[in-house]
């Protein structure tokens, strides 16, 4: 029995869904698609009505354009100094590609009753490529202007609060952008892109869109790290209280935070209070030299985590499944904050081991279930020899600082 009440998806809605998925294509897949489209017979048939060009103002790095993209380097391009300003060089011609159409000729062609469906598909893909590249280019130009201090220095303290909603409003106000730059599209695009800074460091594009809270975290962390220097210099006799940190932030940087907010941020960063810092080696000191936190995702593992031995710390959102989380543990070691340390480990191959955790093949089901929502983050320190001893020391200091082991360490190392 056939049912005839199936509703077709509205063409406009279908187009938005297709574009959303297209924006989420990883760079290698996007580059491969552009190559395939341009080498197709359908594209050759359309050449009288299609001109292959480059986005206005876009530049491609000559040393990178002809280099095969390796699995370990999905980077959109690099930021460079250009006189008093900054410029961005794309690493592939495909990332700066723009197709220009003889619209009258194309419309006439498509009006023919026997217009091949294959050519219609090629036209749709060409327009999708245009949309993605135009949005990417507009986004990069705005970022060069708004986050220039950070891009030049690579210093987290130079980041300005910049939400994706704010950048969306800025791009939509620019009349020369033919693409609707809504926050959802920007979010999908930012998720799959990384860029190289002038110092050679590769960073996820999402890092350039920190919320105010994230910026405040950088400043609190910086002040507490400076605390050690001030104590060695005799400028400070004991660790700073949360109130003293708030005072320094307001006086030195114009950041007005409540004492309670400083305490919450300190807990987010796994930094003990002033009393604990004065009595013993704390978790901050034990993790000195660790990398910045990176998302525990396949892309971040490929771009930011090396295949080398080291010790690592996993942080995950505390909120699922609550039945498995001890209230006492939450009370002692996870005061209000978006992420807390749930696992400490070591390995001879960081990328492989973290990938095992992510795929659920590390024989730790509880940890895998907690990573499933995709919000976990990881940071690490390379240790060429004795990484197991480094893990034991880090685990011991964590237990001393918080009074309990990480939630998903099932036994002491």
Cα–Cα distance for residue pair 383/246, rounded to 1 Å: 35
- Per-residue pLDDT tens, the chain, 413 aa: give them: 444 555 566 767 787 888 889 999 999 999 999 999 999 999 999 999 999 999 998 999 876 544 554 443 479 999 998 888 899 999 999 999 999 999 898 888 888 888 888 898 999 999 999 999 999 999 999 999 999 999 999 898 999 999 888 998 888 887 677 778 888 889 999 988 999 999 888 899 989 999 999 999 999 999 988 887 787 566 877 889 999 999 999 999 999 999 999 999 998 888 888 887 776 556 767 788 899 889 999 989 999 999 999 999 998 865 433 333 333 333 333 332 334 788 999 999 999 999 999 998 888 888 888 887 778 899 999 998 888 998 998 998 888 777 788 888 888 88
Query: What residue spans define the domains of the chain?
Result: 13-208, 212-279, 294-402
Q: What class is the 212-279 domain?
A: mainly alpha
- CA–CA distance, 194 with 285 (Å, rounded to integer): 30
CATH classification code of 294-402? 3.40.1440.10
Q: What is the pTM of this model?
A: 0.65
* Distance, C-alpha 323 to centroid of its chain: 30
Rounded distance between C-alpha atoms, residue 271 and residue 401, angstroms: 9
What is the Cα–Cα distance from 13 to 413, expressed in whole angstroms? 53
């Amino acid at each position: 029995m056939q049912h005839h009440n199936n509703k077709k998806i509205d063409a406009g809605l279908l187009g938005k869904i297709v574009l959303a998925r297209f924006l989420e294509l990883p760079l290698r897949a996007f580059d491969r698609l552009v190559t395939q489209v341009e080498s197709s017979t359908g594209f050759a048939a359309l050449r009288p009505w299609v001109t292959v060009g480059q986005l206005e103002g876009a530049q491609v790095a000559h040393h990178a354009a002809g280099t095969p993209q390796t699995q370990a380097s999905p980077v959109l391009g690099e930021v460079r100094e250009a006189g008093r300003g900054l410029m961005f060089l794309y690493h592939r011609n495909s990332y700066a590609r723009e197709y220009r159409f003889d619209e009258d000729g194309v419309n006439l062609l498509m009006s023919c009753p026997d217009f091949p469906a294959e050519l219609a598909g090629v036209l749709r893909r060409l327009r999708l490529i245009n949309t993605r590249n135009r949005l990417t280019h507009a986004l990069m130009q705005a970022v060069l202007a708004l986050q220039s201090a950070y891009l030049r220095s690579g210093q987290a303290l130079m980041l300005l609060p910049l939400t994706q909603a704010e950048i969306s409003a800025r791009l939509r106000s620019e009349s020369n952008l033919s693409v609707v730059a809504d926050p959802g599209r920007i979010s999908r695009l930012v998720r799959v892109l990384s860029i190289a800074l002038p110092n050679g460091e590769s960073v996820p594009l999402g890092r350039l869109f920190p919320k105010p809270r994230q910026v405040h975290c950088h400043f609190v962390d910086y002040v507490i790290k400076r605390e050690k220097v001030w104590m060695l210099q005799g400028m400070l006799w004991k660790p700073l209280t949360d109130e003293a940190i708030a005072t320094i932030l307001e006086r030195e940087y114009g950041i007005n935070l409540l004492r309670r907010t400083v305490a919450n941020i300190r807990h987010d960063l796994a930094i003990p209070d002033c009393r604990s810092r004065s009595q013993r080696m704390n978790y901050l000191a034990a993790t000195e030299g660790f990398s910045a936190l990176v998302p525990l995702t396949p892309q971040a593992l490929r771009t930011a985590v090396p295949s080398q031995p080291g010790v690592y710390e996993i942080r995950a959102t505390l909120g699922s499944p609550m039945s498995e989380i001890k209230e006492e543990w939450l009370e002692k070691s996870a005061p209000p904050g978006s992420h807390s340390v749930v696992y400490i480990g070591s390995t001879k191959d960081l990328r492989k081991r973290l990938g095992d955790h992510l795929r659920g093949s590390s024989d730790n089901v509880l940890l895998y279930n907690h990573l499933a929502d995709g919000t976990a983050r990881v940071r690490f320190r390379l240790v060429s020899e004795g990484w197991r001893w480094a893990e034991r020391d880090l685990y011991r200091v964590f237990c001393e600082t918080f009074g309990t082991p990480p939630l998903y360490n099932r036994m002491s190392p």
